[in-house]
Amino acid sequence: MKTFAMMVLGCKVNDYEATYLRNKLLNDYKEVTFKEVADIYIIFTCCVTNIAEAKTRKMLHRARNLNPNAYIVAVGCLAQIKGKNEEFKDIDLVIGSNHKDEIYDLINKHFIGNKLEELNKPKFEKLFFDHYPGKSRAFLKIQDGCNQFCSYCIIPYARGSERSGNYVDLINQANLLSKTNKELVLTGIHTGRYFDGKNHLYDLLLGLNEIKELKTIRLSSIEINEISNSIIDLMKNNNKLAHHLHIPVQSASNKILKLMNRPYTIEEYINRINYIRKEIPDISISTDLIVGFPLEDDEAFEETLNNLFKIKFSFIHVFPYARKKGTKADSYSGHLDSSVKKQRVSKVFELEKNIEIEFKKSFINKKLELLIEKKDDQYVYGYVKQYFYVKAKGSGNIGDLVDVIIEEVNELEVLGHVA
C-alpha cells in the first residue's frame, strides 16, 4: 500500500481541511509520520507570519530530502501567494485558496510525474466528513475568505473573497460530527460574516442548537462589529453556546487602528465589550494584539496598555508586527526595531498575567462545564466553556461533558474536582 505523510501548519481552518483530506486518503493509503519515508507528502501551508513561512519551506525541503521521488503537495495560503515562485518549482501539486475538495482526485490522477497544477476559481468547497479523529472537540468550517483588507494582513490575497457553506450541508455535517464529538467549534477566516445567500450566523446557530447530541457550540475568532444583539441574547439564554468570545482588537490605539484599516475606534470596541459583559457576566473575552506596528510611537503604545488594563481580557495572543510583502503596511514609513517590538510584547505579557489569573480566580467555588480531553487514574483534564484549562479530581470518559467545581488557581494551573 502506498503511504502518505501530512504536516498541518497554521490555523483551525487548515486543520479542518486537512482532516477532510486525511479521511479520504485513509481509504486507499497508509499514513506515516512526517519523519518517515513516504510516497506522498502533503503540507498545509501558512503565511500569516514569517516564522510560519519558514516552517513551510523547511517542511517542503524535508519532504524532498526524505524521498527525492515522492509526490509533494503544497496546499493553502503560502501556496496561493507564492506558488509560482522559485521555491515551489519542485512541488508536484500546488493548491491555493480553492479546489481543496479536488486534491484527493488530483493525487490519484497525477501520482506519477512532476507536474505543477494550479487552480484558482473561487468557491466554497464542500469538505464533508462524518467524524473528527483524535479530538474531543470538532471544528466545522462554515466560511472562507476575507474582504476586509487590513493593512498588515496577507490573508485576503491568500484565501480570496468571502464565501460561506450551505446551511443545510453544515447542519447535516454537524449532526454526524455530534455523534462522536460533543463540542463543535465554528471556524472560518471571517466567521462572523457567514451568509449563504439566505442564512446568517445567527440562523446557523439556531439550527445547530436543535441538534440534541451536540452539547457545546463554540465560536472561534469573530470581529467586534459582527456580534449582533441576537447572538448575545442566544448565548445568554442558551446553555449550549459557550460563554467565550475571541474578539481581535489588534491595537488599542485609535491612531494605529486607523493605519491598520480596522473598522472601529477603541471607544466603540470598549463600549461593545461592556455591553456583552453586562448581558453575560461570566463570559470569557480573549483577543489578538499586534505590537510594534509602523508608526506606533511610545504614546500610542501607552494608550494601548492603558486600554488593555481597562478592558481586562481573559487572555491575549500578542504578536510583534512582521512585514509582509504585498500588504499596504509594508510600504509604510516608521518601521520599528525588533528589540522595541520584543520589549513591547514583554510589557503586554506582564500586564495581562495578573489579569488572567484574577479572571480565573473569579470562578473559585463555582460550577463549570468541562469537556474531558484526557484522563489518568485520579484526574480528568480539559477546557471549561469559558475556555481555560482545568485539572479536576474525579473520573469520566474522554469526550464527556462534566460539571467541575473550581478550587484553586495559581500561575501554573487551575485545580478542581468533578461535581
- Write the pLDDT tens digit of every residue in 24-81: 888 888 899 998 889 899 999 988 888 888 888 889 888 888 888 888 999 988 888 8
List, for residues 36-50, the tens digit of each pLDDT value: 889 899 999 988 888
73/165 same-domain check: no
| Residue 71's CATH number | 3.40.50.12160
Other CB atoms within 10 Å distance of the CB of residue 259 = 22
Residue 114 counted as domain residue: no
Domain membership of residue 48 (yes or no) is: yes
Identify the CA nearest to 379 among candidates 331, 409, 414. Answer: 414
**Pair 232, 132 in one domain:** yes
Pairing of strands 163-164, 143-144: antiparallel
Domain assignment of residue 236, yes or no: yes
Residue bearing the bigger pLDDT, 365 or 68: 365
Q: Please indicate, yes or no, if residue 263 is contained in any of the structural domains.
A: yes
Higher pLDDT, 235 or 147: 235
Which of 387, 385, 319 has its CA nearest to residue 356? 387
**Of 408 and 98, more confident:** 408
Query: Does residue 112 have a pLDDT over 60?
Result: no
Contact by Cβ (8 Å): 329, 260: yes
What tens digit of pLDDT does each residue of 234-292 get? 999 988 999 999 999 999 999 999 999 999 999 999 999 999 999 999 999 999 999 99
Beta bridge partners of 30: 3
Q: Is residue 111 scored above 60 in pLDDT? A: no
User: What pLDDT does residue 84 have?
Assistant: 67
Angle between helices 229-237 and 266-279 (to 10 degrees): 30
87 with 191, same domain: the answer is: no
CATH for 293: 3.30.750.200
d(CA 99, CA 87): 22
Which neighbouring-strand residues pair with 7? 43
Same structural domain for residues 151 and 257? Answer: no
The verdict on 214 and 162 lying in the same domain is: yes
Choose one of 109, 134, 155: the last residue of a domain.
109
Q: In terms of domains, do 356 and 373 share one?
A: no
Mean pLDDT, the chain, integer: 89
The Cα 231–Cα 227 span in angstroms is 6
Nearest to 9 by CA among 53, 40, 70: 53
Is the model's pLDDT at 115 over the cut of 70? no
Domain boundary among 55, 85, 109: 109
- Which of 242, 273, 289 is the C-terminal boundary of a domain? 242
Shared domain check, 237 and 251: no
For residue 120, pLDDT over 80 is answered with no
* pLDDT reported for residue 117: 41
114 pLDDT band (50/70/90 cuts)?
very low
Same domain, 139 and 222: yes
- Of 70-79, 315-324, 379-388, 389-398, the poorest mean pLDDT is in 70-79
225 burial type by CB count under 10 A (0-12 exposed, 13-18 middle, 19+ buried): middle
Tell me which amino acid residue 255 is. Answer: K
pLDDT score for 81: 81
Q: Residues 23, 26, 28, 34: what is their CA dihedral angle, to the nearest 10 degrees?
A: 120
| CATH label of the domain that carries residue 414 | 2.40.50.140
Which pLDDT value is given to residue 278?
A: 96
Confidence of residue 86 (pLDDT cuts 50, 70, 90): low
| Residue owning grid cell 474582504 | 147
| Domain assignment present for 85 | yes
Instruction: Give the length of the chain.
Output: 419
Let me know if residue 116 belongs to a domain.
Answer: no
Asked whether the beta carbons of 406 and 390 are under 8 A apart, the reply is yes
Rounded distance, CA 142 to CA 13, Å?
9
Q: Residues 74-91: what's their mean pLDDT?
A: 78
> In which band, very low, low, confident or very high, does the pLDDT at 121 lie, cut at 50, 70 and 90?
very low
Same domain (yes/no): 353, 251: yes
206 & 310 share domain: no
Give the pLDDT score at 6.
Answer: 94
| Percent of the chain scoring above 70 in pLDDT | 95
Q: Are residues 215 and 152 in the same domain?
A: yes
CA-to-CA dists, residue 268 to 52, 164, 249, angstroms: 32, 27, 11
Q: What angle do CA 123, 46, 184 make, to 5 degrees?
A: 65
For 377, the domain range is 367-418
Within a domain: 292: yes
Q: Is residue 382 part of a domain?
A: yes
CATH code of the domain covering residue 184: 3.30.750.210
Residues 265-285, buried b or exposed e (16+ Cβ, 10 A)?
A: ebeebbebbeebeeebeebbb
Domain count, the chain: 4
Provide the percentage of residues in the chain whose pLDDT is more than 90. 58
**Per-residue confidence (pLDDT) for residue 122, from 0 to 100:** 58
For the segment 178-217, what is each residue's pLDDT rounded down to a tens digit?
Answer: 988 889 999 998 999 999 989 999 999 999 999 999 989 9
- Give the CA angle between residues 153, 5, 176 to the nearest 5°: 75
**201 and 256 fall within a common domain:** no
Mean pLDDT of 375-384: 92
